[in-house]
Chains A and B, each alone.
Chain A
Amino acid sequence: MTVPASWYLVLAAILFGIGAFGVLTRRSALIMFMCIELMLNAVNLTFVTFARTMSDIGGQTTVFFIMVVAAAEVTVGLGIVVAVFRRRASTSVDELSELQG
């Protein structure tokens, strides 16, 4: 018998948690992006797991679209990082705090 779905779900939850922790604690915009990728992958993993348990291709199709969106997001995000770096010579998000109250 194959490994139960819940194991994969727990694994995905752990991956998501690590990614979230990274977003909250790392200051480099680049690393934050990588952590967001981790979180996206955690979600992808749950989708694929559910597709298997429910015998439904819909989960995998969703993952396909998530990957496309993630690719687009990274493209634009890194563009922004480059543009910001050009102005400030730093990738730290803590320095981008002009919009404070």
Chain B
Amino acid sequence: MSHLAPLILVLPLLGFLLVVLNGRSLSNRTVGLIATSVVGLSFVTTVVTFVLLLHDRTREVTVNLFTWISVDTLHVPAAILVDPLSITMSLFVTGISALIHLYSTAYMQGEKDFRKFFLYLNLFVFSMLTLVLANNLVLTFVGWEGVGVCSYWLVSFYFDREAAASAGKKAFIYNRVGDVGLLLAMFLLFVHTHTLTYLGIFSSTSLLSPTIATLVVLALLLAATGKSAQIPLFNWLPDAMEGPTPVSALIHAATMVTAGVYLLVRMSPVLALSSSGRMTIAVIGGLTAFVAATIATAQKDIKKVLAFSTVSQIGYMVLAVGVGAYGAAIFLMVSHAFFKALLFLGSGSVIHSLGGEQDMRKMGGLAKWLPLTFPTFLVGWLSISGVPPFSGFWAKGDVLTNVFAHNKPLWALGVLTAVLTAYYMSRLFVLTFRGSERFREVTHQHDPHESPLAMTAPLLILAALSVFGGLLDLPWAHGFSLTRFLSPTFGVVAATGAQSTMLQTGLALVDVVAALIGLFAAFTIWRHTVESSTFERPFFEHVWRWDDAYDAVLARPLERLAHVSNDVVENRIIDGAVEGLGGSVQRSGEGIRKLQAGFVRQYALAMVLGLTVIVVYLVGRVR
């Protein structure tokens, strides 16, 4: 085991290095093969590690690689922590990454920067695994920044498009704001506990006063809102859809954006110290889930809808974290990774078949043309909508049951969001696969074609996972379940599902009803309509004017300040000082220059006169 765990990390890095060092001499095919197989092997390694962990009684293994930083009391090892939480994350990260790598070999075929794409993708997987497997906050931060920068490169992958370039910058800057939170949390924790390893922090939580704990939790929340696209830093994620669709599926739906949730869950012993901090987290999560869902109802771009649905689903996860249902959060994270990756890859397949069209108004009736994409997408749709027995139903039900136990208003908001979720996903489904065929103009009267096997195979696997993902954590399962498996990590906090069976069944019925309401509403409205100003509110379409608000509150005053700085401070004061100094030096130089007449006898005279001054001074002193 101690020899295997580092391999999970090393394999993607190896792939990255292989491609980086030999990129020009390898064919696209070889690059795709290398990149996909290293991630696949990494997945296999993770599975083996997982099985070994099951046989480990402590369920907690630290693999020390080397000492990274050792200054005074600051000791940061480069070490891997394998425990139920990190191995669960690693399993679905490597698994889904492998599938998406495979998908990309077909999707990115013919792209100019094919190799670069896989280079970034491998580096991303490495960074993500570093984030997940690190045993201390500093190493996690390295992975955190690593996924951030890979995300930036991949969002701006089509950097010759203005929109893609600026979307990349937007994502990067929003993430930086969140990173400040993580740094602050690290500083606070180090000052008070003198350690940054997770286990070290958890064993010295008694050193944290309630105020400090709340501050740490809020800082961590800020970090999570940046990376996981929550209010107030959520609107970089929809713009990130400018990247290639596999990137959207892998980074901006399944893995990276869940990093914030992972961080919060990872720090659960610290969260346990601050009830007000947890309350804030729950409110932020619930609000984000609702706001993003409303926005998703009015989007016309198929990927934008999915992007906001991602924001909304992560909101659910954060909500679950806020009420202390860490197991439920991870459960939803895993099943969300399955069905959201499925939906994104399915939408990628649709876009691929229409030659790059993303506007849902120009789709419709695609069901019969895409015989593999359609049924798999159907599964994803039903799953995210919360229709039993698909995994989304179980996961969302788990979350909502836990929320109900802690906070009724947030539960109501969650159920409302569930209605909206079912509604906007059904709208997307209807507009894309049902109704009249509106794509002829886009495809130039050609028939859409189904995607190649390398793209449909991942779809099939993910569809199967979406169907059966619920088995991971059935409410009545007493043998193996995800919550039980994770319980060593969360300790005593994970006291979930304390309600009676009766109540649980009732809540599940409410969920089903909510999903069905959304479904029927969407079918009724969108069966024969493509556009509707009544149901596509401009306020929602424009993301609650969120960008405008940032513009008015932050961007414009800053811009004005910059102008003032430029006109007054830079041009007048700084330039004036610099040029004045330079000018005076030049002028005095021109004066002094005349002393250098070039006559050696004058120089000698100057020496003699200098000597004279010295001698006169000495005579005066002796007297």
A and B touching (C-beta < 8 Å)? yes
What residues make up the interface of A, taking CB atoms closer than 8 Å to B? 20, 23-25, 27, 93-94, 96-101
| Residues on the A chain within 8 Å of B600, using CB | 93, 96
Taking a contact as CB atoms closer than 8 A, the residue among A20, A23, A25, A94 that contacts B599 in the complex is: A94
Beta-carbon nearest neighbor of A99 in chain B: B598
- In the complex the two chains form, is A97's CB within 8 Å of B608's CB? no
Q: B618 at the A/B interface (Cβ < 8 Å)?
A: no
Taking a contact as CB atoms closer than 8 A, the residue among A24, A27, A100 that contacts B598 in the complex is: A100
* Residue in B592, B594, B599 with the greatest tally of chain A CB atoms within 10 Å: B599
| Shortest distance between the CB of A68 and any CB in chain B (Å) | 24
What residues make up the interface of B, taking CB atoms closer than 8 Å to A? 592-601, 604-605, 608
| Residues on the A chain within 8 Å of B601, using CB | 23-25, 27, 93-94
Taking a contact as CB atoms closer than 8 A, the residue among A20, A27, A101 that contacts B608 in the complex is: A20
| Shortest distance between the CB of A15 and any CB in chain B (Å) | 16
| Shortest distance between the CB of B96 and any CB in chain A (Å) | 74
A96 and B596 alpha carbons, distance in the complex (Å): 13
Taking a contact as CB atoms closer than 8 A, the residue among B592, B593, B599, B604 that contacts A97 in the complex is: B599
| Shortest distance between the CB of B619 and any CB in chain A (Å) | 14
| 6 more CB-based (< 8 A) A-B contacts, given A20-B608, A24-B604, A101-B597 | A24-B601, A25-B601, A96-B600, A99-B596, A100-B597, A101-B595
| Shortest distance between the CB of B195 and any CB in chain A (Å) | 65
Taking a contact as CB atoms closer than 8 A, the residue among A23, A24, A101 that contacts B593 in the complex is: A101
| Residues on the A chain within 8 Å of B597, using CB | 97, 100-101
A10 and B436 alpha carbons, distance in the complex (Å): 122
| Residues on the B chain within 8 Å of A97, using CB | 597-599
- In the complex the two chains form, is B608's CB within 8 Å of A24's CB? yes
| Residues on the B chain within 8 Å of A98, using CB | 598
Beta-carbon nearest neighbor of A94 in chain B: B599
A23 and B593 alpha carbons, distance in the complex (Å): 24
A23 and B606 alpha carbons, distance in the complex (Å): 12
- In the complex the two chains form, is B598's CB within 8 Å of A23's CB? no
A97 and B605 alpha carbons, distance in the complex (Å): 16
| Residues on the B chain within 8 Å of A99, using CB | 596, 598
| Residues on the A chain within 8 Å of B598, using CB | 96-101
Taking a contact as CB atoms closer than 8 A, the residue among B592, B595, B596, B604 that contacts A23 in the complex is: B604
- In the complex the two chains form, is A100's CB within 8 Å of B596's CB? yes
A24 and B611 alpha carbons, distance in the complex (Å): 14
A100 and B592 alpha carbons, distance in the complex (Å): 11
A85 and B20 alpha carbons, distance in the complex (Å): 68
| Shortest distance between the CB of A41 and any CB in chain B (Å) | 18
Given contact pairs A93-B600, A94-B599, A96-B600, A101 touches B592 in the complex (Cβ within 8 A): yes
A20 and B605 alpha carbons, distance in the complex (Å): 9
Beta-carbon nearest neighbor of A93 in chain B: B600
| Shortest distance between the CB of A94 and any CB in chain B (Å) | 6
Q: Which 6 A-B residue pairings sit nearest by Cβ, starting from the closest?
A: A97-B598, A100-B598, A101-B596, A101-B593, A93-B600, A99-B598
A101 and B605 alpha carbons, distance in the complex (Å): 18
| Residues on the B chain within 8 Å of A96, using CB | 598, 600
A81 and B65 alpha carbons, distance in the complex (Å): 75
| Shortest distance between the CB of A29 and any CB in chain B (Å) | 9
A96 and B599 alpha carbons, distance in the complex (Å): 7
A39 and B224 alpha carbons, distance in the complex (Å): 85
Beta-carbon nearest neighbor of B596 in chain A: A101
Beta-carbon nearest neighbor of B590 in chain A: A101
Selected A-B contacts with CB under 8 Å, 5 pairs: A20-B608, A23-B604, A24-B608, A93-B600, A97-B599
| Residues on the A chain within 8 Å of B596, using CB | 99-101
| Shortest distance between the CB of B597 and any CB in chain A (Å) | 5
Beta-carbon nearest neighbor of A25 in chain B: B601
A24 and B599 alpha carbons, distance in the complex (Å): 11
